Structure 1
Amino acid sequence: MTDIPIANRCECGATAGPLGVCADYYHGILAEEQADPRMYSWHAPVVCAYLLQHPSRAREKYLDGQFRQLQLYVDQGLDALLRVAAHQVARNRHGSRSGYDMAPLAPYEPLPPGGPPGRFRAAFSGLPYREGSFVADGHEAYGRRIQLIAEATVEAWTSLRA
């Protein structure tokens, strides 16, 4: 087996895809979301999964909340995550309370110590990119792929507890 050059590997352990490393895919997704409100629906799980797979690009103090959000998404789906996000935005808009309301995320496990995991069974550099888009085969297919990345992220971090 040949070693993969460092330039072709990502912090998450994945090898580069046709667009490059995961950061290239992540930035491509963020750019495409700006023109596609339906694709933007998956913004929160994309950000949480990317930062948990690449924690050197994240602020450590937020990783626990992002891990809990990702667990909520995997457990209850996109609509539940969007409701929690809307609750946070409304709460902040009204200025009624300061800080993030952790109550909706309380049932979920905290971020395990000892991370990050060395590999994830699904990573951003594995996403298909066709016809200049991540959603060329439809939003549902894109959503399923983001779900797989989210599940792989939660699974890898949770395995650190064992």
Structure 2
Amino acid sequence: MTDSSGMGRCDCGATPGPLGECADYYHAILAEEQADPEMFRWHTVVVCAYLLQHPARGHEKHLDGQFRLLQLCLDKGLEALLRVAANQVARNRRGSRSGYDMAPLEAYAPLPRGVSPGPFRASFCRLPFRDGSLVFDGYPAYGSRIVGIAAATVESWSVLTI
């Protein structure tokens, strides 16, 4: 897709950055976090935000849970999100057939119906990348940028009516 300036746009509406479209940044994050346990702590937030900003690349049945996970992270922080995720992994290991445990997410708004509300005020295309890394200036700065993308994602989806 191109805009009036002739520049291409990502399917979320963002102008590509130095690495390319959001998918290029997403894959760079996934590759880098594989070798970096501290960076990997943000994996769930990255995946949820990316798929909500690019819902055609995800599975519709999971988007509501991903939207609620982002709200949980924004409300209670990364540690709370990691506890919920760890609990789900433990349930899966025990062979739970009841599906995803939505109880910790019931307090959060469901995903509104509609098409992706992009462009978003913060996107993956805008992440800085220096010295071959997305965490070139430390984990707190990287985490802050990921929280900013999560917040922009929730804000944009929240303006749609349920």
Common fold: TM-score over 0.5: yes
In structure 2, the residue matched to 1:3 is 4
**1:12-61: per-residue Cα shift (whole Å, max 9, x none)?**
11000000000000000000000000000000000000000001101111
Change in CA separation of 1:51 and 1:68 when aligned onto 2, cut-off 3 Å? same
Q: Secondary structure, in 3 states, of the residue corresponding to 1:161?
A: coil
Cα deviation, residue 161, structure 1: 2.5
| Unaligned runs of at least 5 residues, structure 2 | none
Taking the TM superposition and a 5 Å limit, the aligned residue runs for 1:1-162 are: 3-5=4-6, 8-161=8-161
Q: Distance in 2 between matches of 1:115 and 1:128?
A: 28
CA contact (8 A) 2:17 2:125 kept: yes
Q: Which moved more, 1:91-100 or 1:132-141?
A: 91-100
CA contact (8 A) 2:53 2:118 kept: no
Cα deviation, residue 135, structure 1: 0.3
Q: Distance in 2 between matches of 1:80 and 1:30?
A: 22
Q: Distance in 2 between matches of 1:130 and 1:148?
A: 19
Identical counterparts, % of pairs:
68
Q: Which moved more, 1:124-133 or 1:95-104?
A: 95-104
CA contact (8 A) 2:38 2:139 kept: yes
Cα deviation, residue 90, structure 1: 0.8
CA contact (8 A) 1:91 1:97 kept: no
Cα deviation, residue 4, structure 1: 4.0
Q: Which moved more, 1:25-34 or 1:89-98?
A: 89-98
| Unaligned runs of at least 5 residues, structure 1 | none
Cα deviation, residue 92, structure 1: 1.1
TM-score relative to the length of structure 2 = 0.94
Q: Which moved more, 1:130-139 or 1:115-124?
A: 115-124
Provide the aligned length of Structure 1 versus Structure 2. Answer: 160
**1:103-151: per-residue Cα shift (whole Å, max 9, x none)?**
0010011100122103110000000000000000001100000000000
Q: Secondary structure, in 3 states, of the residue corresponding to 2:108?
A: coil
CA contact (8 A) 2:9 2:15 kept: yes
Q: Which moved more, 1:86-95 or 1:47-56?
A: 86-95
Cα deviation, residue 9, structure 1: 0.4
